[in-house]
A and B are shown apart, each in its own frame.
Chain A
């Protein structure tokens, strides 16, 4: 069924967009990630203008993360103080990111900037995840416990001033570290249309050394707040949030997430991590190839923006 998207100004097959949401929802339910890193590239491959893809994907992530955030909150799996600091950083980052976004749009490099950021981040995060997953699998096969990172206190983080206590995270550290982390992820949310969980979660564990029990819940809380703010920024600044597109994605997403969560319970955690690492790397490689191949058309047009 063809549906005309009022903001993207193209006609799309609604079934394909819902299926895309379903697939991303399934994977995000299975791996516990927002899935924005898949939604945005998929929408762009399908022919949605990149600016609209990024903005509407942020809206979808708000929806797909909120029920998880609430569930963790009820279980006490959220550190509100840490979350507040991360959100404060994230909002600042979103503002900075939207300035970048406008500059890149004006100079005509936004599409390439989006792809390049994806390649660099997904490539490095995917590589690290793959290494961890493989060493975990090997250790399990050899009958040893999975190797853990001993370095719970990063030296740079420990040097920062104004230390304060984060009870639930089990930390006594400067709020500057999570603030900067939030800031960085906030910039990415605006430019890439991702929640940033795939960076936030490893950083919380390895860089900040947070208690494992509050990592996912706190990250989800931050994602809901920052993607909501990003939707607002895009709505006001670039006017590229397509409500119809976001609703189609959400329809598939919320259904797919339930199936994904069920599937995850039946699969071993090490295999899941390996699969996620391979998926992230595959997206990075596909985008990298797209950047280096001679494009079908060397010319592109931009209207008065």
Chain B
């Protein structure tokens, strides 16, 4: 099925269109279900460049793909040693930090875009706009941001792959984005940028919904919405299991 889609894209890409160069894109899954066996997912983002005159120029186009998860306000804390023990002593608050952010590009972002342009489109981890909401000194905020990025990089929630997009025939592109199991649920967006000579000349985007499904969803919804019943069920389960085990051993 994937190969058919690819062939179709190749055909489409070959068609001449009037006007500007266009980007066509698709993703392997528009919905990722988190169920009991969920151990992460691998998202394939692929598509084609549709050139105005129908022919691909001789040089390879630059492609950057950004997948970002829902943004939420967060507090970042930093530990320091107080009387021999490591305590949280400083903090910074941010209005909107994406719970997931992965960027893949056909070559390093700084080679294809200048600082300003990359910052405008928020391409690259160092160009994330987190909107600080606390009155820390600028250098302090930078340290907190670096700490946050490091932390989430190690958890697989933030990622940067400067060779993650492969381009075939100057026309077809694809990238694999790794989604870890500890990913936040919500609406995700994949943005694809076509870049030529330091300028973004076309963009397109795709949406992905990541949500718990089936039993996992039922448990989560119950815990949030019917917390009293949920607690009673948890207690009843525990009592039943303990009592049952006691009965079994009494008999034997």
Closest Cβ–Cβ distance, residue A163 to chain B (whole Å): 35
Main secondary structure of the interface of A (DSSP, over half): helix
**B148–A301 CB distance below 8 A:** yes
User: Is B138 part of the contact surface with A, judged by Cβ < 8 Å?
Assistant: no
Residues of B within 8 A of A151 (CB): none
Closest Cβ–Cβ distance, residue A74 to chain B (whole Å): 10
Instruction: Give which listed residue, A7, A65, A112, contacts B223 with CB less than 8 A.
Output: A7
**A63–B241 CB distance below 8 A:** yes
**B72–A304 CB distance below 8 A:** yes
From 252 to 304 in chain A, residues with beta carbon under 8 angstroms from any chain B beta carbon are: 254-255, 257-258, 291-295, 297-304
Q: Residues 80-99 of chain B: 1 if any A CB is under 8 Å from the residue's CB, otherwise 0?
A: 11001111100100000000
Query: Which residue of the partner chain B has the closest CB to A296?
Result: B154
Q: Residues 34-63 of chain A: 1 if any B CB is under 8 Å from the residue's CB, otherwise 0?
A: 000000000000000000000000011011
User: Is B20 part of the contact surface with A, judged by Cβ < 8 Å?
Assistant: no
Residues of A within 8 A of B144 (CB): 299
CA distance A116 to B87 in the complex (A): 11
Interface centre among A4, A116, A291, A295 (most CB of B within 10 A): A4
User: What residues make up the interface of A, taking CB atoms closer than 8 Å to B?
Assistant: 2-4, 6-7, 9-11, 59-60, 62-68, 70-71, 108-109, 112, 116, 224, 228, 231-232, 234-236, 239, 241, 243-244, 246-247, 250-251, 254-255, 257-258, 291-295, 297-304
Closest Cβ–Cβ distance, residue B159 to chain A (whole Å): 16
Instruction: Give which listed residue, B79, B249, B250, contacts A295 with CB less than 8 A.
Output: B79
Query: Which residue of the partner chain B has the closest CB to A70?
Result: B246
**B78–A254 CB distance below 8 A:** no
**A247–B151 CB distance below 8 A:** no
**A254–B242 CB distance below 8 A:** yes
User: Is B76 part of the contact surface with A, judged by Cβ < 8 Å?
Assistant: yes
Query: Which residue of the partner chain A has the closest CB to B73?
Result: A304
User: Is B201 part of the contact surface with A, judged by Cβ < 8 Å?
Assistant: no
**A66–B239 CB distance below 8 A:** yes
**A2–B39 CB distance below 8 A:** yes
Instruction: Give which listed residue, A2, A11, A231, A300, contacts B182 with CB less than 8 A.
Output: A11
**A292–B231 CB distance below 8 A:** no
**A299–B245 CB distance below 8 A:** no
**A295–B86 CB distance below 8 A:** yes
Count B-side interface residues using an 8 Å CB cutoff.
Answer: 61
**A112–B227 CB distance below 8 A:** no
**B88–A7 CB distance below 8 A:** no
Number of A-B contacts (CB under 8 A): 180
Closest Cβ–Cβ distance, residue A300 to chain B (whole Å): 5
**B238–A11 CB distance below 8 A:** no
**A11–B181 CB distance below 8 A:** yes
The 8 closest A-B pairs by CB, nearest first: A67-B246, A235-B231, A299-B147, A254-B245, A63-B238, A11-B181, A66-B242, A63-B242
Query: Which residue of the partner chain A has the closest CB to B88?
Result: A108
Known contacts A228-B239, A292-B85, A297-B151: A235-B234 contact under CB 8 Å: yes
CA distance A298 to B81 in the complex (A): 10
Q: A108-B88, A292-B86 are in contact. List 9 more A-B contacts (CB 8 A).
A: A6-B223, A11-B39, A63-B241, A66-B246, A231-B235, A255-B245, A298-B147, A299-B148, A303-B73
30 contacts between A and B (CB under 8 A): A3-B36, A4-B36, A4-B37, A59-B238, A66-B242, A67-B242, A68-B246, A71-B250, A109-B88, A116-B85, A231-B234, A239-B223, A241-B231, A243-B223, A243-B230, A247-B237, A254-B245, A258-B249, A294-B86, A297-B147, A297-B150, A298-B78, A298-B147, A299-B151, A300-B79, A300-B151, A301-B74, A302-B76, A304-B72, A304-B73
Instruction: Give which listed residue, B74, B212, B244, contacts A302 with CB less than 8 A.
Output: B74
Residues of B within 8 A of A109 (CB): 87-88
CA distance A89 to B230 in the complex (A): 25
Query: Which residue of the partner chain B has the closest CB to A9?
Result: B182
Closest Cβ–Cβ distance, residue B72 to chain A (whole Å): 6
**A112–B182 CB distance below 8 A:** no
Residues of B within 8 A of A112 (CB): 85-88
CA distance A212 to B62 in the complex (A): 79
